[in-house]
Amino acid sequence: MSVRQFVKVDPEQSKHRWYAIAWGPTLFGNWAVVRSWGRMGTNWVRCKSEVFEDDDAACIEAEAQVKRRLSRGYRPVEPV
């Protein structure tokens, strides 16, 4: 499984957000892209998952989501 994590911090606008994108094979032979996001310092978490037939489609979607986060001002961080 591959994971990319991002944060967006702007105290002037009260933005303290995190975002994670994970993709990998499922137990049923498909591939999934799971997106999670929330506000740093809270227990508030949202998730969305999408299932794809093959790894190429999942990787394309994951990379599209990575580009989208970067274009919206998130910066990458190392996974914990």
Contact by Cβ (8 Å): 78, 4:
no
- pTM for the structure as a whole: 0.87
| Residue 31 amino acid letter | W
Residue 32 binned pLDDT confidence (cut-offs 50, 70, 90): very high
For 46-64, what is the mean pLDDT? 96
CA 6, CA 73: separation in Å to the nearest integer?
Answer: 10
CA distance 43 to 52: 29
- Over residues 43-59, mean pLDDT: 95
Q: Are 37 and 49 in contact (CB under 8 A)?
A: no
